[in-house]
Amino acid sequence: MELDFEAIGDKEFELIVEAIDGGAPTLTGTATVVMTVTDDNDNIPALNIAEESEVHVVLSAPIGYEVIAINASDHDVSASFSNVTFSLASANDFFVIDEMNGRIQVQRTLQIGTYPLEVVASDG
């Protein structure tokens, strides 16, 4: 049986186990086992943008200009698994991402061209 921490109401279960031998007279023993279900990092962060997106920035955008704010959500309940941080998959001289809020900003004077960026959202 698989339990999903986010889907179940009760997080603690009490089991009463009884063992019976086959002897004569029959002997029995019981024990109470308390099982606590804990959260697992089983949900990946979901980004608020399409996997392939295109954003246009004017060439004269000043340093610090916010190009886009990436948001993500994670359905894990525990704070240690649901806090999402952001990074760029490869180094980029022209743009920087704020790891806590996902804002991508111009880092230096832009040149005409296309700048592919891969945003990574991580949890836990």
- The tokens for 11 are 């997080």
Asked, for residue 18, whether it belongs to a domain, the answer is no
Asked, for residue 27, whether it belongs to a domain, the answer is no
pLDDT exceeds 90 at position 91: no
Q: Using DSSP, state whether 35 is helix, strand or coil.
A: strand
CATH number at residue 102: 2.60.40.60
Q: What is residue 66's predicted lDDT score, i.e. its pLDDT? A: 98
Cβ neighbours of 86 (radius 10 Å): 22
Asked, for residue 89, whether it belongs to a domain, the answer is yes
Q: What is residue 81's predicted lDDT score, i.e. its pLDDT? A: 87
Structure confidence by residue, pLDDT tens digits, 36-59: 988 888 889 999 898 899 999 999
* Residue 96, burial from CB neighbour count under 10 angstroms (0-12, 13-18, 19+): middle
DSSP 55-122: ----TTPPTT-EEEE--EE----SHHHH-EEEEESS--SSEEE-TTT-EEEE-S---SS-----EEEE
Report the C-alpha dihedral over residues 98, 78, 41, 47, rounded to 10 degrees. -40
Asked, for residue 67, whether it belongs to a domain, the answer is yes
As a whole number, mean pLDDT of residues 65-70 equals 97
- Domains of the chain: total: 1
Cα–Cα–Cα angle for 50, 84, 37, nearest 5°? 115
pTM above 0.95, yes or no: no
Asked, for residue 17, whether it belongs to a domain, the answer is no
Q: How confident is the model at residue 121 (pLDDT cuts 50, 70, 90)?
A: very high
Q: Which domain holds residue 62?
A: 46-123
Asked, for residue 37, whether it belongs to a domain, the answer is no
Q: How confident is the model at residue 68 (pLDDT cuts 50, 70, 90)?
A: very high
Q: What is residue 10's predicted lDDT score, i.e. its pLDDT? A: 79
Q: What is residue 5's predicted lDDT score, i.e. its pLDDT? A: 84
Asked, for residue 22, whether it belongs to a domain, the answer is no
Which of 38 and 94 is assigned the larger pLDDT?
A: 94
